[in-house]
Amino acid sequence: MNVVCLGLSHQSAPVAVRERVALDADGGAALLRALVEGPGAAAVEAVALSTCNRTEVYLAGGDAAALRPAALAALADVTGVAAADIETHLYDHAGPAAVRHLLSVAAGLDSMILGEAQILGQVRTAAAAARATGTLDTVLGQLFRSAVRAGRRARVETEINARAASIPSAAVEVAGRALAELQAERPPAGPRVVVVIGAGKMAVLAATAFGKDGGTHIVVTNRDYRRAMALARQWQGCAVTFDQLGDAVGRADIVIASTSAPHAVLTRDDVAAAMACRPDRPLVIVDIAVPRDVEPAARDVPNVRLLDVDDLAGTVATNLAERAAAVPRVRAIVEDEAARFERWLAAADVTPTIAALRQWADEVRGAELARALRRLEALGPREREAVQALSVALVGKLLHAPVARLKAGAGSAEATRLALALRALFGLAAPDEADEDGADPTPAPPLAAWLPAAATLSLDAQPGSDARSDARPPRPRDAR
């Protein structure tokens, strides 16, 4: 089974191209069905990952050479964009390169903001959408589980996502640090109050970052009061009308200003009036709007600290440098998870499965033959050779049908499921699956995940055979 990735991202295409091939839920489902179920479909599995910065298609199938043109044609057809307009911006990866690309994406190594966490949820969502559409099966299902595990490990085991690396998140970090410095001599008795001016994208991101802190009360104000209410409601906060902005600032510990107004919405006089009734209580204002929302002269008001985007840029640069230092460790995690997936995929290939099945059967045959011959001491050399030949012939006959079935379907999704089923049923170890301490680092998923119906377990049972459905096979050895 071959794995292929075809896509474009912020690294290969401008936003004018990316927005034309972005997929909503319906478009993604249509693309997946076209790839797997359409006329001349080359893929047996497909997953589409579409975000504001990338559109990628992951495919699994027997003919790797046919997967790329099939994906390009389907993407062009579903999005209505000429293939020639897309192709110059495309990248494609096959085999181990496709595996490592997806794992790197999930780990945040390929994101516009290094290490950002949102992509990991988007990878999960893409897999869930493909499963709902019916195009996620054995191979890509395992690959996306590996990707999620790599992304989770990267963020738990390294500092790739530890520090703020966007303007809104940096605003939260810097504001909290500045407020702590100003309140060092007189810590507040209750939760801090954060006033968010605006309800656009940057304001939403800042409010979200503050809202995750249980010790913060969010107050939102916006010229569109309904939008202010909608944002405040997300974090159990409250909304105030824009003409109440002065009163809100008077109650605030931190103010985040992020509107699209062409002029200042908070003047020095506004800030001075708000501070008049609370001269000893510090106020931190972070203006992340361009043009600026707060008059620069507001920083002259006593006990007020005003920060703008230029003040935040240094924090973002420092934090990105710290994230970059974690990249080698994250790449090591990607390599580890890629190797685990490739061992799993090797176990699904029919050739090593057939070899492992024959080895297991021969070990069982040899052990049982030795036990029987110890009880048959009266047999002479010729009789012993006849019994041994009989045991070899029986094993050969028993394995003929499943081995022939696997060889005939090599490269197909069914053969992959059957190979994995055989390994599960007979406790066959995957190639190189044991780590240094002998433990299996990649536990096999349950048999039900590989076999959609009980009928799939049939391995070419011979018509008219006298095999009983309740007959017990020899007890398999433990998987190593």
Task: Decide: 107 and 157 in contact? Cβ < 8 Å.
Answer: no
H/E element, 49: strand 45-50
Q: Long-range contacts of range 467-476, CB-CB < 8 Å, 24 or more positions apart?
A: 473/426, 474/364, 474/368, 476/360, 476/364, 476/425, 476/426, 476/427
Torsion angle, CA of 361/366/368/374, rounded to 10 degrees? 180
What φ, ψ does residue 465 adopt, rounded to 5°? -70, 155
What φ, ψ does residue 439 adopt, rounded to 5°? -85, 150
The three-state secondary structure class of 238 is: strand
Rounded CA gap, 339 and 410, in Å? 22
Task: Decide: 28 and 57 in contact? Cβ < 8 Å.
Answer: no
What φ, ψ does residue 434 adopt, rounded to 5°? -80, 135
| DSSP secondary structure letter of residue 266 | B
What φ, ψ does residue 204 adopt, rounded to 5°? -65, -45
CA distances from 370 to 100, 359, 375, 387 (A): 47, 16, 9, 11
Torsion angle, CA of 456/459/462/463, rounded to 10 degrees? 0
H/E element, 384: helix 381-408
Q: Which among 5, 52, 238, 277 is annotated as catalytic?
A: 52
| Residue reference for tokens 């003919």 | 63
Is 52 catalytic? The answer is yes
Is 14 exposed, middle or buried (CB count within 10 Å of its CB: 0-12, 13-18, 19+)? exposed
The type of residue at 115 is: G
Rounded CA gap, 11 and 136, in Å? 27
Tokens representing 344 are 């799993």
Whole-number CA gyration radius for the chain:
31
DSSP code per residue over 57-71: EEEEES-HHHHHHHH
Within 8 A by CB and 6+ apart from 328, the residues are none
What φ, ψ does residue 93 adopt, rounded to 5°? -130, 145
Residues assigned a catalytic role: 52
